[in-house]
Each structure stands twice: as structure tokens, then as C-alpha cells.
Amino acid sequence: MAMKKKSHIAIFPSPGFSHLIPFVEFAKRLVLQHNNFHVTCIIPTDGPPSKATKAIVESLPTSIDSIFLPPVNFDGIAPGLQVFLTATRSLPSLRHVLESLVSKTHLSAFLTDMFGTDTLDVAKEFNIPPFIFFPSPATALSLLMITPKLDETVCCEFRDLPEPVEIPGSIPIHGKDLPQPYQDRKSEMYKRLINLAKQLNQVEGIGVNTFTDMEYGAIKALQAQQGEPNSVISPPVYPIGPIIQTGSSGTEANGSECLTWLDNQPRGSVLYVSFGSRGTLSAEQLKVLALGLEMSGQKFLWVVRGPNELPSAAYLNGQGDFDPSEVLPNGFLERTKGQGLVVASWAPQIEILRHGSTGGFLTHCGWSSTLEGVLFGKPLITWPLFAEQHMNAIMLVEVLKVALRPKANENGLVEREEIAKVVRDLIEGEEGKRLGQRMNDLKDAANRALSKDGSSTRALSELASKWQNVEAPK
């Protein structure tokens, strides 16, 4: 029997570690499931790649290679816009790389994410079919698809709307809970989102990092509109998740310290607290959170990052050497020595969530962290900060019922008594047990989706066969 010819695709993630990981994991899943694929990962940069980025790239299988583009300059650019502008400013170097690739091989697809849509025209110049990999939830994609229409029909700021916004396949969401760019319709970010939503109809398919049982309504709504003459979206949508980081997330010293500490705690007794790689709280909220964790009497493992008033807390920036005792209440570390473990800036999240002693996860509801919580069956406390995290929190609490959400006071601060109550409810209360049971059901559904004949495995196979059937240009 003749060997199947290898298919070659190129992927282009947005800048930043949290964008690179889902793309790399998607590529790994593709080549594992379909061994006749080769992937080139083209990585835009705004400076030298971080140690973590290099480690990820160096550990890739041989069927995935990577190319770092020359860094782009961001002098005088607002941090929020950098993620949009990196793709735009990398177009000349991307064109050069694609030209070199197509001179040697036939590329059957080019994938980027929602911040890289300016690159789609370059792919088309070389007759490479363009696709989107959407590493966020289907609900966010559903909102994005109706944004141009919303923009025409709504005349005030979304947060001032008396009625919630109807998102196809989702529960209605109040305007104040829509992602950040929607909170200021005059902003450059919002204008770019509208433009981006219009560009999505140029692609030949959208792979979404979700699975049917988690977002049944949104996925069905997106698929139902496909190809309809008046539809907002015409490309087919493929739910191919949950895609999370696989393998060890590092061997740093505080990694082994966390796991050794967890080994000595009772099963299901520890609340893991982390706001992701970019999430930061105000100095005041950070202190109140500490006092609430202490007051709960429950065990906790907390990854502390500097408060967001510090310059080092800026978007896309890592935090270098940082001492948590500088930002925590006086005496907190001494008083909670037997109760909790505090680590600075980074911890091996996958290994912590996998651990039997971890009984719950207080999270900012970033989509990667949310999916990790689901795959390891840990009930959640939601503490959304930015992007689509408020929408994710609403889905987790009100639709899926696998999470609790602490209430803030009229000044937006979550007080220590509220934190202590919610933590106790999750770790030792009856409600926590009910959430844990539902989260276990969702975990089983996620594993079914990824099984040999599961819905996500089938969706990825559909995409792969589409790419395998792309004819090389004559």
C-alpha cells in the first residue's frame, strides 16, 4: 500500500506565552492523531523569547518545527494594542518566511488566532487556505460573530443597556460583563474587534478549543448558521478541545516544593489559588484575599504575583524576582505556616490540579485554566479579571453549576468574610460536594470528547481530511 503523502500546515499564534501554548498543544494533538502531518510554527516576537518559550519550543516533536520572527518595536504603543499590532508589524517577515516555505513544500493550511487576522491576506497571496484556531470559548466566538450587527443596533455603551445582550446559544449577558473592549466603544481595541469579526468570514474553517458538552448551545448556534445566506458566520466551526498543556510545566525549585507540600496534605483538602500568568489584583484586594484565606481555616496553595499598581504587572510582562512578603499583610506568612503555602509568581499548575490533595481551584477564569480545572475535575471559585473571563465565570456558575462566585461590595472589593465563607463552602460544605459531583461529570464528558471516537477527535479528523485534500497549485 502506498504511503500517504505528508501534509504541511503553518500556524501563527499571537505573541505571549498564553497564546503560544494552545497553538503548540493543538499542533501536538494533530500530529499525534494524524502522523502524516508536518507543522511549522511561526512565532512573532517583541523581544528575545523567554526561557519558558524556549523550553516549550525545544521540547516539540520532530514533526513540528518553529521559526521566530524578528522582534517588532512597540515604543509608544499602549499595552492592550500590542497583541493586535504584533501581527500587523510582522507581516513583512511573515511574507518572507511563507515565500521560503512554499518554494520547498506545499502548504495546505495557514492557521492564526483572532489577533492575527491581518496575516490572512498574506496567506492568500501564496494560495494557502486560511483558517482560524480560536483558543477561547465558543460563547466568545458567538459574541464576536454578532458584534458588527450589535454595533449597528445599540446606540449607548453596552454597560448602560437596560436589558442583557442576547448571544446565540448562550444565556443573556449583562453589558457590564462583556469583555473589556466592549466597555468603551470609542476605543481602538473595540474598533479592531469589529473589523476582526468581519474578517472571520474570509476563512475556510474555525477550530475552537472547547467541546460539545461544555458549550452545547453556543456550538450548535454557530453550526446552525453555517452557510445560511443572511448568516453572520459562514465558515464551518470545529469544536476540537479541550486542548491543555501536556507534559511537565517545568522543574523549577518552587515546583518540587509545591508538590512535596501537597504530598503531606489530606486528600481534597487544599484550595489552589492562582490568577494565571498575567492576572494581578490591587494591593488592597491582595491583602484582603490573604486575610480571607487565613480566616477560612482551610488549607491553601497560593501563587502570589505583585499587585497591579506595580509597573512589573503590565500586560505581557513576566515578573522577575519578587518577594511575596512585601505585599502580604504583616505576620501573614508566619501565622499561616501550617495552613498554607505561598509561592512567588509561578507554580506547576497542571501537576497541582492533578494532585489528589487539591480539592478546589480559585481561578481568574482564563480559558486555559478553566479547561485544566475541568479536565482534572476540580470545582472552582471564580474571580474574573479581564478579557472574556466575566462571561466564562457566568457560564461556570449559572449554566454548568461547577463553581461559586464571591460577591463584591459596592466598591468592587471582595471582603474577607465573603472570601472565608466561599472557601469553606467549596472545600468542606455540602454545596462544594454537589459542585464536585457535577465537575466530575463534566470531566468525564471532556474525556469522552477526546476518546478515540469522541466528538472532538472526530472534529479534528474532519479538519485534517479537509487539509489532506487540498490540491497543490499547478
- Residues noted as catalytic: 19, 113
The Cα–Cα gap between 373 and 380 comes to 7
Task: Provide the sign of the torsion angle of the four alpha carbons 440, 444, 446, 450, taken in this order.
Answer: positive
Could you count the other beta carbons within 10 Å of the beta carbon of residue 458?
A: 14
The Cα–Cα gap between 84 and 75 comes to 15
Give the phi and the psi of residue 131 in degrees, each rounded to 5.
-135, 160
First to last CA, the chain: 26
Taking phi over 0 as left and psi of -120 to 50 as alpha, with beta for the rest, 387 belongs to left
The Cα–Cα gap between 184 and 317 comes to 24
**C-alpha gyration radius of the chain:** 22
Could you count the other beta carbons within 10 Å of the beta carbon of residue 328?
A: 19
Q: Environment class of residue 460 by beta-carbon count within 10 Å: exposed (0-12), middle (13-18) or buried (19+)?
A: buried
Taking phi over 0 as left and psi of -120 to 50 as alpha, with beta for the rest, 384 belongs to beta
Q: Return the closest-CA partner of residue 378 out of 347, 356, 345, 400.
A: 356
Locus of grid cell 497549485: 473
CB of 108 closer than 8 Å to CB of 180:
no
The Cα–Cα gap between 102 and 473 comes to 10
Task: Provide the sign of the torsion angle of the four alpha carbons 403, 406, 411, 413, taken in this order.
Answer: negative
The Cα–Cα gap between 20 and 60 comes to 12
Taking phi over 0 as left and psi of -120 to 50 as alpha, with beta for the rest, 412 belongs to left
